[in-house]
Amino acid sequence: MIWVLLVLLVIVLIIAFNTIKIVKQSEVYIIERLGKFHKVADAGLTIIIPFVDHVRSVVSLKQQTMDIPPQGVITQDNVTITIDTVVFYKITDPAKAVYEIQNLKKGIEYLAITTIRDIVGKMDLDDTFSSRDAINDRLRVILDEATDQWGCKVDRVEIKDITPPADIRDAMEKQMNAERNKRALILQAEGERQSAITLAEGKKEAAILEAEADREAKIRRATGEAEAIKKVAEAKAEEIHVVYDAMMRANPDEKLVQLKSLEALQEVAKGEANKIFIPFDATKALGSLGAVSEVFKKDN
């Protein structure tokens, strides 16, 4: 009796194991009933009929990555390069991913290889290095459209590495060194030109400032001389005014005035001028002196 109970317990456990299924998060079960697709079991507890229902496949809904083996590709200018690629994809329709293609990963891999060869085969070597983003975008678009019927969405495609042949690498390194030297010479020449321009501008500014300083000095010197002449003239005028006042206070007679005029005329005659303008009053004094001299002559 005990053995019977044990057998029944084992049978119940087996039935329960085949009936109760616990689906993990981010996974789904593809369940078939009598060999035909029945349903997609989401995360959580799922009850199936033993010996009638069958779990065909467990499909992950997480973002998945797949490394594409490095492929030798011939560019448009007949250079063989090796391209290493990785594809990021996610299953959006688990039923299609199971029933529409025999092996989803192999299908994505083969499709990526042929697409890479087609895209890179239409480009030059230099374009493959400078257009990685464009190649990635075109690969993603083509793969996404092709895998849509398989219930798969390609989110990203990244080229990890592009390896040219050794001789091409050496030539590229030499070209890069030559380009660096060229840029260095250009920068040096530009620096020297800028330095010369700055130096010339400095000399120009210095010459302008020196000229302005010289002009300002001449203006100030001329102003000072004019002020000095003005002061001397004012002093002379003041002196003449004082002398004139003194003479007026002394109440001189006409003879004294004429004599002083002659003395002044004598001082003027000592100058370097070729012509002397004699005032009318002085001529009267000279006439008087002439008459006196005539009298003396007659007496003698």
Instruction: Please state the pTM of the whole predicted model.
Output: 0.54
Per-residue pLDDT tens over the stretch 214-248: 888 888 888 888 787 877 777 776 766 666 666 66
| Rounded distance between C-alpha atoms, residue 132 and residue 84, angstroms | 12
* Model pLDDT, residue 273: 47
Q: At what angle do helices 280-299 and 254-269 cross, to 10 degrees?
A: 100
Interacting residues of 100 by C-beta distance below 8 A, sequence separation 6+: 149, 150, 151
* Model pLDDT, residue 232: 74
* Model pLDDT, residue 291: 45
| Rounded distance between C-alpha atoms, residue 262 and residue 197, angstroms | 73
**Cα angle 270-272-273, degrees, rounded to a multiple of 5:** 105
| Rounded distance between C-alpha atoms, residue 61 and residue 89, angstroms | 10
| Rounded distance between C-alpha atoms, residue 171 and residue 297, angstroms | 129
Query: Helices (H), strands (E): how many in the chain?
Result: 8, 8
Is the distance from CB of 108 to CB of 152 less than 8 angstroms? yes
* Model pLDDT, residue 212: 86
- Look-up: residue for tokens 């001397």? 232
Q: In angstroms, how far apart are the furthest CA atoms of the chain?
A: 204
Ranges of residues in the chain whose predicted pLDDT is under 70: 1, 172, 237, 239-300
Partners of 40 in the β-ladder: 30
| Rounded distance between C-alpha atoms, residue 188 and residue 183, angstroms | 8
| Rounded distance between C-alpha atoms, residue 273 and residue 269, angstroms | 8
* Model pLDDT, residue 254: 61
* Model pLDDT, residue 284: 52
| Rounded distance between C-alpha atoms, residue 140 and residue 147, angstroms | 10
Is the distance from CB of 64 to CB of 27 less than 8 angstroms? no
* Model pLDDT, residue 299: 46
Strands 64-74 and 80-91: antiparallel
Residue type, 86: V
* Model pLDDT, residue 86: 93
| Rounded distance between C-alpha atoms, residue 79 and residue 72, angstroms | 10
Comparing C-alpha atoms, which of 108, 97, 103 is closest to residue 156?
108
| Rounded distance between C-alpha atoms, residue 235 and residue 157, angstroms | 103
Is the distance from CB of 157 to CB of 140 less than 8 angstroms? yes
